[in-house]
Amino acid sequence: MNKQRLFKGGDIASEDSAKLQRGDVLVEGTRITRVAPNLIAPPDCEVIDCTGKIILPALFDVHVHAREPGQEQKENIRACSEAAINGGVTGFVMMPNTLPAIDNAGVVKTVLESAARCRIPIYTSGAITKGREGKELAAIGAMKAAGAVMITDDGFPVANPVVLRRAMEYARDFGLIVASHCETMDLSGKGAMHEGSVSYSLGLEGIPAISEEICLDRDIRIAQYTGAHIHIQHVTTARGMNTIRRFKEEGVKVTCEVSPHHLIFNHEDVGDYDTNYKMNPPLRTREDNAALLQGLVDGIFDVIATDHAPHTPFEKNNDFASAPFGITGLETALPSLHHYFISKVKLGWDLLVRRYSAEPRRLLGHKAVPVIEGGAAEFIVFDPNADTVFDRDFIKSKSVNTPFLDKSMRGRVDMVIHAGDLLLLR
């Protein structure tokens, strides 16, 4: 496509500046060819008015459950990719807890074939152990050769430290990131939510914070010992976060992520057993919300990731203990982060761009996609003054298990541009 488009009058966000820069953006083919104020549109150029809107690099999510193969009633790769686009995300990494698990080169190839039919690039992780059973190493080298970008048994920890040690020693030499879902299963037991005052009053078995913190500490120490790159998924507690901070200061190759829901919600939001607030790790306390947000500002968290986890209404319309863990997130992440934090000046656009666009891409060894002359045309047009209502018509995911269902958030993704193509125009 050699079509020219001029995005006129918007304010451009970048990871390097807390201030937005007024600028017109000229796109030719797959590249941004000019960025400057008051550009004159060339002949035959489509002009798109972006007055009052924000232009920011498109987002990238390193933690997504696309449910394919095996659980297509919840989600499939195609629907998941459309959900991503709907939320301004132009690339993501799939988790291997499918049926069967993505634990060998054959399944990696299969899901990547499905992914190749989507409008955005989609990457996959592979399992650390066969069937994610925590016993025997999966075909890590073969999966890497087939295109897997990280390994994880996400949904479960690798309970046996010897298995994790071997996996890290092995994966290290393939340059694969080992991503950890940190949980001490015996301590979690049958817990359904954070162990605390709310689990007490609702009479639900709790998942204590130490279940996560002990495993997190253990996994980073094994990474330190083996020299592997460990990525801690969905950190939820202040204490766990501070453990990561300390190991980072020691120079351990540890990166970590925080999810929007752990920043926004806490265990009090579970209310009347609302299963759209049930996920693993669970929502913690109000104090943890504040600490995690500060950690994001301080740069402890490398990336924001949603842990998009679709489930059907039938599965979620269950008693709290029996309903599955997980909520969707791809479509709600940016508007909700804007609504709760950016519009209230608790987070800057630079931080959002760094943590949900640039750093996730760099984590996979890709380049960031700043909105600059000569850069890739990979950006979002976001209207900070419009509202998004997350009703069934809006949601492109096959599932609607989100606390934001039928709620309104300030801010709306109006356009998504990927490789020069206008993937979304609202």
Partner 1 sequence: MTPRKDLLDIQSLTDEELDFILTNAVPFKNLFKRSVKKVPTLRGRTVLTLFYEPSTRTRSSFEVAASRLSADVINFSVNTSSVVKGESVLDTISTLEAMRTDYVVVRHGMSGIPNLIARNTTASVINAGDGFHAHPTQALLDVFTLKEVFGGDLRGSRIAFIGDIQHSRVARSTNLLCRRMGMSTAMLAPGSLIPRDTPPEIAAFTNWDQVFAWKPDVIYLLRVQMERQNVPFIPSIGEYHRIYGLTDERLKRVRDSGIYVMHPGPVNRGVELNDSVMTYERCLINQQVENGIAVRMSVLYWLKPGSVEGTGS
How near is the Cβ of 203 to partner 1 at its closest, in Å?
3
How near is the Cβ of 318 to partner 1 at its closest, in Å?
4
Edge-first strand listing for the sheet containing 54-57 = 17-22, 11-14, 54-57, 379-389, 408-418, 421-425
160-168, 268-276, 342-350, 414-422 -> range binding partner 1 (CB under 8 A): 268-276
Q: Which is nearer to partner 1, 317 or 385 (CB)?
A: 317
Among 322, 345, 365, 392, binds partner 1 (CB under 8 A): 322
Position 191 contacts partner 1 (CB under 8 A): no
Position 250 contacts partner 1 (CB under 8 A): no
Q: Which is nearer to partner 1, 71 or 357 (CB)?
A: 71
Q: Which is nearer to partner 1, 118 or 159 (CB)?
A: 159
> d(Cα 118, Cα 122) in Å, to the nearest integer?
8
Q: Which is nearer to partner 1, 13 or 187 (CB)?
A: 187
53-61, 216-224, 247-255, 318-326 -> range binding partner 1 (CB under 8 A): 318-326
Out of 103, 307, 383, 414, pick the active-site residue.
307
Kindly list the distances between the CA atom of residue 145 and the CA atoms of 105, 140, 381, in Å, as whole numbers in the listed order: 8, 9, 36
What's the N-to-C CA distance of the chain in angstroms?
21
Q: Which is nearer to partner 1, 299 or 313 (CB)?
A: 313
Position 195 contacts partner 1 (CB under 8 A): yes
Position 317 contacts partner 1 (CB under 8 A): yes
173 is catalytic: no
Q: Which residues in the 141-180 window bind partner 1 by CB under 8 A?
A: none
Position 286 contacts partner 1 (CB under 8 A): no
Q: Is 3 helix (H, G, I), strand (E, B) or coil?
A: coil
How near is the Cβ of 186 to partner 1 at its closest, in Å?
7
- For residue 61, list its beta bridge partners: 92
| DSSP string of 210-262, one letter each residue | HHHHHHHHHHHHHHHHHT--EEE-S---HHHHHHHHHHHHTT--EEEEE-HHH
Position 202 contacts partner 1 (CB under 8 A): yes
Q: Is 342 helix (H, G, I), strand (E, B) or coil?
A: helix
Closest CA to 111 of 80, 77, 143: 77
| DSSP string of 292-340, one letter each residue | HHHHHHHT---EE---B----HHHHSS-TTTSPS----TTTHHHHHIII
- For residue 425, list its beta bridge partners: 415
User: If binding means CB under 8 A, how many residues of this protein chain bind partner 1?
Assistant: 26
> d(Cα 58, Cα 265) in Å, to the nearest integer?
25
How near is the Cβ of 192 to partner 1 at its closest, in Å?
9
How near is the Cβ of 190 to partner 1 at its closest, in Å?
8
Q: Which is nearer to partner 1, 198 or 252 (CB)?
A: 198
Position 204 contacts partner 1 (CB under 8 A): yes
Q: What is the chain's length?
A: 426
Q: Is 110 helix (H, G, I), strand (E, B) or coil?
A: helix
> d(Cα 234, Cα 280) in Å, to the nearest integer?
9
Tokens linked to 83: 């959900």
Position 273 contacts partner 1 (CB under 8 A): yes
Pairing of strands 303-304, 59-64: unpaired
Position 314 contacts partner 1 (CB under 8 A): yes
Position 330 contacts partner 1 (CB under 8 A): no
Among 44, 249, 272, 393, binds partner 1 (CB under 8 A): 272
Position 44 contacts partner 1 (CB under 8 A): no
Q: Which residues bind partner 1 (CB under 8 A)?
A: 186, 189-190, 195-197, 200-206, 208, 271-273, 314-315, 317-323
Mind telling me the catalytic residues? Answer: 307
